[in-house]
Amino acid sequence: MSQLKLVFNFIRMKNRVYYNKLVRDDIKERIEKKGERCEIRVIEDKAEFEQELLKKVREEASALAHCRSREEFLAEYADLMVVLDTLTKQLEFSEADIKTAMAENVEKKGLYTKKHFLHWSEDGAYKSNETPQGVNK
């Protein structure tokens, strides 16, 4: 291989951006339409696909949390809902299953209409998805 070919290949590799994440179905075509190259693989393993969808939920939820305009919020909300819809289909939940779970959740835990913000609690049995900000005494 000539020196020129080696340099050319190095430059092409140097311009690569590695994502290593689940992407939408048409991303390859969109990249190639711009004259760029990419490498994708189809996830065949069901468990791997579910894990990648769960990673995508975190990614999209984080993006949603950083929105600063209504337009941006709607776009990110739509992104998150597409991932959640895909995940619930993958896990074979029906719309009825989701509605039932939501109704049971609201019945058990309530809503956010009163806008309560919990500063502290002596209820050590209260479970949160977040790391508690302090130590039980």
CA 20 to chain centre: 14
Residues 4 and 2: their CA atoms lie apart, in Å, by 5
Residue 123, C-beta contacts closer than 8 angstroms, at least 6 positions apart: none
- pLDDT for 134 equals 46
Q: For the beta carbon of residue 63, count every other beta carbon within 10 angstroms.
A: 15
User: Are 60 and 80 spatial neighbours (Cβ–Cβ below 8 Å)?
Assistant: yes
Place of tokens 């909300």: 77
Its pTM surpasses 0.75: yes
- pLDDT for 47 equals 95
> Whole-number mean pLDDT of the chain?
88
Residues 115 and 117: their CA atoms lie apart, in Å, by 7
